[in-house]
């Protein structure tokens, strides 16, 4: 029954050892992902690594983990942190970007006066999507007026 190249096969003296290197995520995020796969439990306490954890769950299609992390991210949206999170992280994933954009536009009058938003403007070179996101915010905040059809009268 176990006659393939499995460890349980007694004739497999060489054994297979695999090293899988995941270099685009932090050790902590990889460890949390693997822990989740084995236990179905996750500890979401560190806000700095939550974006990395969302990224790894999204990349490796671990839907349940992605949903839990996304819920934690959405519960943490507030007027102080939403702009920073949008410009720094959320723009990378459309589902997160859309929610953050909606929140920023709805609360723009308050958010634009926060120190956090002013720091984003001051350090715009630190945010690769600065101009595109600001353009989207502006277009959503000040919607285009519909063109009025003008009837020409014939004399």
Any idea which architecture 10-76 has in CATH?
2-Layer Sandwich (3.30)
DSSP state of 29: H
Q: Which long-range contacts (CB under 8 A, 24 or more apart) does 37-42 make?
A: 37/62, 40/64, 42/68, 42/69
| Predicted pLDDT at 147 | 77
Write down the mean pLDDT value for the chain: 88
pTM score over 0.85: no
In the chain, what are the domain boundaries? 10-76, 78-143
Residues 126, 128, 134, 137: is their CA dihedral positive or negative?
A: negative
Phi, psi of 89 (to 5 degrees): -130, -55
| Predicted pLDDT at 61 | 98
Scan for tokens 């999507």, then name that residue: 129
What average pLDDT score do residues 62-79 get?
96
| Predicted pLDDT at 47 | 66
Q: What's the Rg (C-alpha) of the chain?
A: 24
Higher pLDDT pick, 12 / 125: 125
Q: Say whether pLDDT at 2 is over 60.
A: no
**pLDDT category, 1, cuts 50, 70, 90?**
low
Q: What is the pLDDT of residues 32-64, one digit of tens each?
A: 999 999 999 998 776 668 999 999 999 999 999
DSSP state of 14: S
């Amino acid at each position: 029954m176990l006659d393939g190249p499995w460890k349980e096969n007694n004739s497999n003296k060489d054994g297979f050892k695999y090293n899988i290197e995941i270099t685009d995520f932090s050790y902590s995020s990889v460890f949390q992902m693997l822990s989740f796969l084995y236990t179905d439990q996750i500890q979401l306490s560190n806000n700095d690594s939550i974006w990395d954890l969302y990224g790894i769950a999204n990349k490796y299609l671990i839907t349940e983990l992605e949903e839990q992390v996304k819920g934690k991210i959405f519960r943490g949206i507030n007027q102080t942190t939403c702009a920073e999170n949008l410009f720094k992280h959320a723009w990378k994933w459309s589902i997160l970007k859309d929610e953050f954009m909606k929140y920023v536009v709805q609360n723009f009058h308050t958010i634009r006066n926060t120190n956090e938003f002013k720091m984003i403007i001051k350090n715009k070179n630190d945010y690769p999507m600065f101009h595109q996101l600001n353009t989207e915010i502006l277009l959503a905040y000040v919607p285009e007026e519909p063109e009025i059809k003008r009837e020409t009268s014939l004399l």
